[in-house]
């Protein structure tokens, strides 16, 4: 998995995509047949502009997190067909002329420009996430890989953000999905983009290594079942945390604690015999990891066996200066069991005088998703960390995002894609887009304009002086009229609003201008992208974010662009005849 160098000789190098299988052949065949047909018609170098956008927010929500941009730029910067790949393409296009292979051989992205919204931004339908400009022959070959790299990345980042929203800021969120993900990089990229969307850690070691994501994991049920009894533990010695003392028989020490718990006044009667294979497993795991002891307590019975066994081991560790981390629950009524476990821990703290024991971390896993976490919140629970797998990484409640890549201009001619379904009509022209912020600091509306329209103006800040107050009041009224901006729904004539923005942010920034050396936005580290995402999500008006019946965020076009869209639409659409 050596990063490929791009053609640049000036110095800057952008590594290739994380997955070496992302090559120009990760493409629909029709991109190559079109490339050939463009080339055959002498059109392959016509300057084209394509927008990459989606039409509908996922998961019944009103926002999306944009992710996948870095991988697109890495792909683009290293875009080059190998001879072997060209041979294969030739075989796929029987009858094609040999000179086309020469064209493919020379193909790279040195004449392509990519403008994009920064990765980790909160984004909305219809507004281009990326605007890709360049010779139509090569840009067409970017469609499938870009869509593939953006669709799942944005979907799973959004899913992570939604899980964070329902779990709340104070909880730890752990992604545990590797085994159920849609293939190997379904797993690895889910880990990456869940972290981006606000998760704290992953169980996926490869993702930890590739992206520096914190890793989490302890043991499974199999580990517990693999033991039969404590007799199996041969090396029973535990050195204390400070290295000063040694416990020669940690197993007996644990057994002693188990008895103490069993017969302590408030805990007696809760359990009798605990499962000995479980006790053996916990003890041996603690001997291996005395500093980070965390046990899965539901292999046999949480309250009658798992919790008492865990407490015995944790208390034994405590005698030698080690603080156990906590437990994981992987089945049953998580709200009830977490509360019972917390009670047990607090009772131990009180009765056996072990300060802090009640604060043991309770981790819950087992088919969690937005709905189950919401239900746990309503029932009341004592869970500190959620381990979420299947529903998170496969985006079970909506397994695909529908980003599209549409031609909006060629040879300076705006193009529109019509459809009987209005939501599928594309917004033509090479465009700019802006996010307008209101008085309270929340984003109010996104607006698209033609490339050459003047940018929206910010409301000027007027410091009122007492003397000039009357004058300024008149000035203010005029200026407000001057600055207010008409934002129109792109397709619905009656939906429009005047906006006086307090702040204007241009959304599309240049990420590629032909080479890694040309002035462009840097690709920030994943951690920074994650921080942007968290900050942007926190800065949204709460009614856009709520799970139930959220308010749609407004997306608009300028009055000028609106008129042009409808002019073009009428021009291209055939007039029907009713018979």
Nearer to its own copies, 51 or 446 (CB): 51
Sign of the alpha-carbon torsion through 154, 156, 158, 161: negative
Residue 197 in tokens: 């969307």
Burial 156-177 (b: 16+ CB within 10 A, else e): bbbbbbbbbbbbeeebbbbbbb
Q: In what order do the strands lie in the sheet with 431-437?
A: 496-499, 485-488, 554-558, 443-450, 431-437, 503-506
Tell me the C-alpha distance between 307 and 282, whole Å.
Answer: 11
CB of 267 to its own copies, least distance (A): 15
Tell me the C-alpha distance between 276 and 297, whole Å.
Answer: 13
| Closest to 370 measured CA to CA, from 42, 38, 58, 20 | 58
The partner residues of 52 in beta bridges, in order of sequence, read: 130, 405
CB of 464 to its own copies, least distance (A): 53
Q: What are phi and psi of 298, to 5 degrees?
A: -110, 20
Nearer to its own copies, 6 or 394 (CB): 394
Nearer to its own copies, 273 or 522 (CB): 273
Tell me the C-alpha distance between 572 and 416, whole Å.
Answer: 8
Nearer to its own copies, 335 or 485 (CB): 335
Nearer to its own copies, 303 or 447 (CB): 303
The partner residues of 327 in beta bridges, in order of sequence, read: 295, 362
Nearer to its own copies, 415 or 530 (CB): 415
Residue 325 in tokens: 């981390």
CB of 515 to its own copies, least distance (A): 24
CA 4 to chain centre: 26
Of the chain, the end-to-end C-alpha distance in Å amounts to 63
CB of 535 to its own copies, least distance (A): 26
CB of 85 to its own copies, least distance (A): 8
CB of 146 to its own copies, least distance (A): 9
Burial 285-319 (b: 16+ CB within 10 A, else e): bbbebbeebbbbbbbbbbbebbbbbbbbbbbbbbb
Tell me the C-alpha distance between 213 and 265, whole Å.
Answer: 45
Residue 215 in tokens: 């890793």
67 Cβ contact partners less than 8 Å away, ≥ 6 residues apart = 119, 120, 150, 153, 154, 156, 157, 193, 196, 197, 529
Assess contact for 525 and 416: CB atoms under 8 A: no
Nearer to its own copies, 29 or 468 (CB): 29
Nearer to its own copies, 31 or 318 (CB): 31
Nearer to its own copies, 381 or 415 (CB): 415
CB of 151 to its own copies, least distance (A): 6
Q: What are phi and psi of 123, to 5 degrees?
A: -130, 170
Tell me the C-alpha distance between 173 and 194, whole Å.
Answer: 10
CB of 64 to its own copies, least distance (A): 15
CA 419 to chain centre: 31
Nearer to its own copies, 38 or 115 (CB): 38
Nearer to its own copies, 281 or 545 (CB): 281
Residue 78 in tokens: 């290293």
The structure tokens 């929206």 sit at: 456
CB of 177 to its own copies, least distance (A): 9
Look at the chain and count its residues: 579
CB of 268 to its own copies, least distance (A): 13
Nearer to its own copies, 288 or 464 (CB): 288
CB of 559 to its own copies, least distance (A): 25
Tell me the C-alpha distance between 160 and 166, whole Å.
Answer: 10
Tell me the C-alpha distance between 139 and 246, whole Å.
Answer: 68
CB of 482 to its own copies, least distance (A): 38
């Amino acid at each position: 998995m050596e990063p490929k160098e791009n053609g640049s000789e000036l110095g800057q190098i952008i590594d290739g995509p994380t997955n070496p299988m992302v090559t120009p052949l990760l493409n629909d065949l029709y991109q190559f047949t079109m490339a050939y047909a463009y080339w055959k018609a002498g059109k392959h170098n016509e300057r084209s502009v394509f927008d990459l956008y989606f039409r509908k927010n996922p998961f019944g929500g009103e926002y999306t997190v944009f992710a996948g941009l870095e991988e697109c730029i890495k792909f683009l910067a290293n875009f080059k067909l190998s001879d072997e790949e060209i041979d294969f393409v030739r075989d796929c296009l029987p009858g094609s002329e040999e000179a086309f292979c020469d064209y493919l051989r020379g193909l790279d992205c040195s004449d392509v420009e990519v403008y994009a919204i920064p990765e980790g931004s909160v984004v909305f339908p219809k507004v281009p996430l990326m605007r890709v400009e360049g010779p139509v022959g090569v840009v067409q070959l970017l469609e499938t890989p870009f869509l593939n790299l953006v669709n799942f990345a944005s979907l799973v980042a959004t899913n992570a953000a939604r899980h964070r929203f329902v779990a709340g800021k104070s909880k730890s969120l752990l992604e545990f999905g590797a085994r159920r993900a849609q293939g190997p990089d379904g797993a690895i990229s889910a880990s990456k983009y869940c972290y981006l969307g606000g998760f704290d850690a992953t169980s996926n070691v490869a993702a930890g290594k590739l992206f520096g994501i914190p890793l989490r994991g302890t043991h499974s049920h199999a580990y517990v079942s693999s033991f039969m009894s404590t007799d199996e533990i041969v090396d029973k010695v535990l050195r204390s945390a400070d290295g000063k003392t040694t416990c020669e028989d940690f197993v007996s020490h644990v057994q002693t604690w188990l008895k103490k718990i069993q017969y302590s006044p408030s805990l007696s009667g809760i359990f009798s015999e605990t499962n000995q294979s479980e006790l053996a497993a916990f003890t041996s795991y603690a001997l291996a990891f005395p500093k980070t002891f965390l046990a899965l307590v539901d292999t046999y019975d949480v309250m009658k066996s798992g919790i008492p066994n865990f407490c015995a081991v944790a208390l034994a560790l405590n005698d030698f200066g080690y603080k156990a981390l906590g437990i994981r629950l992987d089945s049953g009524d998580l709200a009830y069991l977490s509360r019972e476990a917390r009670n047990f821990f607090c009772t131990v703290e009180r009765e056996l005088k072990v300060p802090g024991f009640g604060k043991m971390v309770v981790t819950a896993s087992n088919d969690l998703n937005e709905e189950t976490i919401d239900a746990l919140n309503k029932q009341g629970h004592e869970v500190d960390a959620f381990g979420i797998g299947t529903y998170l990484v496969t985006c079970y409640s909506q397994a695909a995002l529908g980003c599209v890549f549409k031609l909006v201009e060629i040879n300076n001619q705006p193009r529109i894609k019509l459809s009987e379904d209005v939501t599928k009509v594309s917004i033509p022209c090479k465009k700019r887009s802006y996010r307008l912020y209101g008085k309270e600091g929340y984003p109010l509306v996104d607006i698209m304009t033609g490339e050459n329209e003047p940018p929206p103006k910010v409301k000027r800040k007027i410091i009122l002086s007492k003397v000039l107050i009357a004058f300024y009041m008149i000035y203010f009224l005029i200026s407000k009229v001057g600055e207010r901006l008409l934002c129109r729904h792109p397709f619905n004539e009656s939906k429009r609003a005047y906006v006086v923005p307090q702040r204007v942010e241009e959304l599309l920034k240049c990420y590629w201008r032909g080479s890694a050396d040309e002035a462009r936005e840097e690709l920030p580290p994943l951690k920074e992208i994650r921080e942007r995402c968290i900050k942007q999500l926190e800065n949204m008006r709460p009614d856009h974010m709520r799970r139930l019946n959220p308010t749609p965020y407004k997306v608009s076009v300028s009055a000028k662009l609106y008129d042009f869209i409808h002019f073009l639409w009428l021009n291209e659409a055939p007039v029907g005849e009713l018979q």
